């Protein structure tokens, strides 16, 4: 990455600009702007998130916002109410209060003497969500949006549920936010930090049970889901996604339904100028170009860019820590693309009971064919530990967080293999599989993985999808399966851009377990599959069609490493009890900010354990510790959280402890049981 120290205009910074809401709550903003902005007003660009501008996102903020400000913008990084250095209390994600605050901040920015009156909003993840949600509310001064790694549908395509299945990340993210939001403001900015901290701790919500309670797409999830009325999305949107992230579907949804442009690269859950796998690209140059067009009115052609640009991955060996993925950029002037046609492949069992030449399997193997398949009947009853190589919901880096080799898990699943390819096969879009099934249990789910099987038998996950069978007809009105009744269900897989090379073959792998990505059903059960059709989005083929700019950024933050961090990720098999456990250990070490002296550190562990034969043996235990200090001032918080389940309830408990120095200042215990209506 190229570091750019000399910008077109000189930038000045305010580390704590107060923005007072109509109810008197003061939000803290860090602001970068051209030094002459009061004489020559400029557009404002807002990033508005709960992740603490003073320490949490500071390393990335200092690479991004001074760069954009140096090209003639006032960049405003606001801590949300109840987080970082802002006043108030936080109640939940994407609340009406949060979004009203966003609208009020935008109105305040537009009225400042240094602002031209035009405001843009940008963000990744939470910030990507709420800039779309704010655009939905249509504040007059908001003129354009850049949204990275976000969603349009909070129920069907977020960390809580996917295809109606309860995700393990629902619990995991609840533990994260209990930890993240437990930290106090910086005393250097808030003399009332201690009183404010105690109020935060008393009000701190344990959100995982609340989220899990809403097991249908009800009003709770409809709020903040911009797909409820795409017609309200009137401002220009530049939507970004990554194939190694689990928010890759949003770009398709926005480009298909709104005046948006979209770019999807090979990346994890990070901004594209710093993300792996490479190639990283010049996200900040593209952002400035977008703002120039829509906030300054410069006719630079950004509005004429291709509707959808995607990095088409090429076949490569499996690597859960891939630093780079081979591929090429495809540029579609219209989306859906006229260059994509649906190809039907029918599911059938191997003729004569023989396995296809794809290797050893513990379950029967089938094949994919273009003509009619003979009738078959196979029961899907996969071990509960299938899914240990699924990777994280939103990988952040290179700590083996992406999907690993799927071959061992394929061997435990019901698989259907295609013929060995003689020519490249390009896929662009979302595949789906329609299955004829019956279930011996009222509650259950199906996971479909599309894989690239190499000549050596290794298996790379291209895309996956899942369906809670209770949601086979409706996400809003789920209904249990009638045991033994035969029904047709459709599983839609995630968007993809992928080229399978000659010598490789396509595989569809089906399972009814996917731990810990999906929380297990109450009973192992069996799902009988008797027919199926795989619908593939086949692209006509392309060469490189876009050359993005190389990544640039402002200088990195000034800091000193006090203690190096370390990370481990491994699977443990207890040969006495038979249980499997995925263990994640991530110690970020401790660092000192050399600009303002704040020292910070963070440590976490996750344990996801299950017995192959018993879904009710599932247990997740997470711990988090946050450390803040400066001189003689030291504070620390610790979160411990656990989730188990019975046949009738999801059981979640948590403990939050805070220390000032060596003195325990606060302790709170949470314990909840959530009825299992549909999961």
Please tell me the distance from the alpha carbon of residue 49 to that of residue 343, in angstroms, as a whole number. 42
State the pLDDT confidence band at 371, using cuts at 50, 70 and 90: confident
Query: How many C-alpha atoms does 646 have within 13 Å on its Cβ side?
Result: 7
Q: Indicate yes or no: pTM above 0.85.
A: yes
Q: Taking 50 as the threshold, does the pLDDT of residue 357 lie above it?
A: no
Q: Give the start-to-end residue ranges of the domains of the chain.
A: 2-164+215-332, 340-539, 558-675
Q: Say which DSSP state 386 is in.
A: T
> Average pLDDT, whole number, for the chain?
96
Please tell me the distance from the alpha carbon of residue 672 to that of residue 347, in angstroms, as a whole number. 43
For residues 65-90, give the mean pLDDT: 98
395-452 residue pLDDT tens: 999 999 999 999 999 999 999 999 999 999 999 999 999 999 999 999 999 999 999 9
Among candidate residues 427, 428, 446, the one with its CA nearest the CA of residue 436:
446
State the pLDDT confidence band at 389, using cuts at 50, 70 and 90: very high
User: In sequence order, which residues have a C-beta less than 8 Å from that of residue 64 and are 6 or more positions away?
Assistant: 75, 271, 284, 553, 554
| The pair of three-digit structure tokens given for residue 372, joined into one six-digit string | 């009619």
Q: Which residues pair with 31 in a beta bridge?
A: 14, 76
Among 308-312, 353-357, 453-457, 608-612, whose mean pLDDT is lowest? 353-357
Distances (CA, A) of 365 to 64, 339, 345, 359, 414: 50, 32, 15, 10, 6
Among candidate residues 524, 469, 519, the one with its CA nearest the CA of residue 650:
519
Please tell me the distance from the alpha carbon of residue 564 to that of residue 569, in angstroms, as a whole number. 17
Please tell me the distance from the alpha carbon of residue 359 to that of residue 411, in angstroms, as a whole number. 9
Angle at 388 between CA 393 and CA 51, to 5 degrees: 25
Please tell me the distance from the alpha carbon of residue 466 to that of residue 454, in angstroms, as a whole number. 24
| The pair of three-digit structure tokens given for residue 656, joined into one six-digit string | 């939050």
Q: Taking 80 as the threshold, does the pLDDT of residue 353 lie above it?
A: no
CATH fold group of domain 2-164+215-332: Rossmann fold (3.40.50)
Please tell me the distance from the alpha carbon of residue 134 to that of residue 330, in angstroms, as a whole number. 30
Among candidate residues 340, 246, 291, the one with its CA nearest the CA of residue 539:
340
Q: At what angle do helices 96-110 and 126-137 cross, to 10 degrees?
A: 70
| The pair of three-digit structure tokens given for residue 94, joined into one six-digit string | 């994407």
Helix (H) or strand (E) holding 529: strand 527-539
Among candidate residues 324, 370, 364, 323, the one with its CA nearest the CA of residue 347:
370
At residue 222, the 3 state secondary structure works out as helix
Question: Quick one: pLDDT at residue 349?
Answer: 84
Please tell me the distance from the alpha carbon of residue 384 to that of residue 580, in angstroms, as a whole number. 9
Question: Quick one: pLDDT at residue 542?
Answer: 87
Please tell me the distance from the alpha carbon of residue 566 to that of residue 137, in angstroms, as a whole number. 43
Question: Quick one: pLDDT at residue 373?
Answer: 75
Question: Quick one: pLDDT at residue 624?
Answer: 98
Strands (E), 197-295: 237-242, 260-265
Sign of CA pseudo-dihedral 66, 68, 70, 72: negative
Helix (H) or strand (E) holding 106: helix 96-110
Question: Quick one: pLDDT at residue 350?
Answer: 64
DSSP of 214-249, one letter per residue? --SS-HHHHTT-GGGGGGG--S-EEEEEETTSS-TH
For residues 650-678, give the mean pLDDT: 98
Among candidate residues 655, 637, 591, the one with its CA nearest the CA of residue 183:
637
Neighbours of 428 (CB within 10 A): 24
Q: Taking 60 as the threshold, does the pLDDT of residue 356 lie above it?
A: no
Strand 2-3 vs strand 26-34: parallel, antiparallel, or unpaired? unpaired
CA 315 to chain centre: 24
Q: Taking 70 as the threshold, does the pLDDT of residue 40 lie above it?
A: yes
Superfamily of domain 340-539: Galactose-binding domain-like (2.60.120.260)
Strands (E), 633-662: 633-645, 649-660
Q: Taking 60 as the threshold, does the pLDDT of residue 663 lie above it?
A: yes
Q: Taking 70 as the threshold, does the pLDDT of residue 11 lie above it?
A: yes
Sign of CA pseudo-dihedral 115, 118, 124, 126: positive
Residues recorded for the chain: 679
Among candidate residues 488, 526, 509, 335, the one with its CA nearest the CA of residue 405:
509
At residue 173, the 3 state secondary structure works out as helix
Q: Taking 80 as the threshold, does the pLDDT of residue 359 lie above it?
A: no
Rg (CA), the chain: 25
Phi, psi of 208 (to 5 degrees): -55, -45
Helix (H) or strand (E) holding 201: helix 193-203
Q: At what angle do helices 58-69 and 283-295 cross, to 10 degrees?
A: 50
486-543 residue pLDDT tens: 999 999 999 999 999 999 999 999 999 999 999 999 999 999 999 999 999 999 988 8
Neighbours of 549 (CB within 10 A): 14
Q: Taking 60 as the threshold, does the pLDDT of residue 358 lie above it?
A: no
Please tell me the distance from the alpha carbon of residue 99 to that of residue 127, in angstroms, as a whole number. 11
Q: Taking 70 as the threshold, does the pLDDT of residue 363 lie above it?
A: no
Question: Quick one: pLDDT at residue 527?
Answer: 97
Distances (CA, A) of 97 to 23, 77, 567: 11, 18, 37
Among candidate residues 668, 641, 581, the one with its CA nearest the CA of residue 617:
581
Among candidate residues 114, 112, 111, the one with its CA nearest the CA of residue 38:
114
Place of tokens 């305010």: 14
Q: Taking 90 as the threshold, does the pLDDT of residue 454 lie above it?
A: yes
The rounded percent of the chain whose pLDDT value lies above 70 is 98
Question: Quick one: pLDDT at residue 121?
Answer: 98
Question: Quick one: pLDDT at residue 360?
Answer: 33
């Amino acid at each position: 990455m190229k570091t750019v120290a000399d910008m077109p205009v000189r930038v000045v910074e305010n580390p704590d600009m107060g923005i007072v809401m109509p109810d008197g709550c003061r939000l803290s903003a860090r602001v970068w702007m051209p030094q002459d902005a009061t004489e020559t007003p400029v557009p404002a660009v807002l990033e508005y998130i709960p992740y603490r501008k003073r320490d949490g996102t500071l390393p990335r903020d200092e690479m991004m916002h001074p760069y954009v400000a140096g090209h003639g913008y006032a960049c405003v990084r606001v801590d949300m109410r109840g987080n970082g250095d802002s006043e108030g209390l936080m109640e939940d994600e994407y609340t009406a209060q949060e979004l009203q605050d966003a609208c009020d901040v935008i109105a305040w920015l537009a009225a400042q003497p240094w602002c031209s009156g035009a405001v843009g909003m940008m963000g990744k993840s939470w910030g990507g969500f709420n800039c779309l949600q704010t655009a939905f509310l249509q504040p007059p001064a908001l003129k354009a949006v850049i949204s990275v790694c976000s969603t349009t549908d909070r129920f069907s395509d977020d960390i809580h549920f996917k295809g109606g299945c309860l995700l393990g990340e629902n619990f995991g993210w609840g533990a994260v936010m209990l930890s993240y939001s437990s930290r106090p403001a910086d005393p250097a900015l808030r003399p009332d930090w201690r009183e404010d901290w105690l109020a935060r701790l008393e009000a701190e919500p344990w959100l995982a049970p609340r989220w899990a309670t809403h097991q249908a797409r009800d009003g709770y999830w409809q709020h903040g889901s911009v797909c409820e009325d795409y017609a309200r999305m009137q401002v220009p949107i530049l939507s970004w996604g990554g194939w190694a992230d689990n928010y890759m579907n949003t770009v398709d949804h926005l480009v298909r339904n709104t005046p948006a442009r979209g770019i999807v690269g090979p990346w994890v859950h990070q901004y594209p100028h710093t993300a792996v796998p490479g190639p990283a690209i010049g996200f900040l140059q593209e952002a400035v170009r977008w703002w120039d067009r829509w906030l300054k009115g410069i006719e630079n052609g950004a509005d004429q860019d291709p509707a959808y640009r995607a990095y088409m991955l090429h076949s490569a060996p499996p690597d859960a820590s891939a630093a780079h993925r081979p591929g090429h950029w495809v540029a579609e002037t219209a989306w859906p693309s006229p260059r994509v046609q649906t190809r039907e492949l029918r599911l059938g069992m191997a003729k004569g009971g023989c396995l296809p030449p794809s290797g050893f399997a513990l379950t029967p193997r089938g094949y994919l064919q273009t003509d009619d398949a003979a009738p078959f009947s196979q029961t899907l009853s996969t071990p509960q530990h299938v899914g240990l190589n699924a990777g994280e919901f939103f990988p952040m880096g290179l700590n083996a967080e992406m999907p690993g080799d799927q071959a061992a898990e394929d061997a435990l699943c019901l698989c259907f293999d295609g013929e060995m390819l003689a020519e490249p096969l390009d896929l662009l879009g979302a595949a789906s599989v329609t299955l004829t099934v019956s279930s011996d249990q009222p509650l259950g789910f199906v996971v479909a993985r599309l894989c690239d099987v190499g000549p050596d038998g290794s298996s790379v996950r291209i895309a996956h999808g899942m369906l809670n069978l209770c949601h086979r007809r409706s996400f809003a009105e789920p209904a249990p399966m009638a045991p033994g009744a035969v029904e047709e269900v459709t599983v839609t897989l995630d968007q993809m851009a992928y080229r399978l090379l000659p010598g490789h073959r396509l595989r569809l792998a089906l399972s009814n377990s996917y731990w810990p990505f999906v929380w297990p059903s109450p009973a192992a059960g069996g799902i009988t599959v008797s027919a199926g059709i795989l619908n593939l989005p086949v692209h006509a083929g392309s060469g490189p069609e876009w050359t993005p700019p190389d990544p640039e950024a402002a200088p990195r933050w000034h800091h000193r490493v006090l203690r190096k961090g370390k990370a481990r990720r491994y699977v443990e098999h207890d040969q006495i009890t038979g249980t499997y456990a995925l263990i994640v250990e991530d110690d970020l070490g401790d660092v000192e900010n050399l600009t303002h002296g704040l020292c910070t550190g963070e440590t976490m562990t996750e344990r996801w354990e299950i017995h192959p034969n018993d879904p009710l043996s599932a247990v997740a235990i997470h711990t988090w510790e946050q450390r803040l200090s400066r001189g003689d001032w030291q504070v620390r918080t610790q979160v411990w959280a656990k989730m188990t389940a019975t046949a009738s309830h999801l059981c979640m408990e948590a403990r939050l402890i805070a220390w000032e120095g060596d003195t325990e200042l606060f302790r709170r215990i949470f314990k909840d049981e959530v009825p299992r209506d549909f999961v």
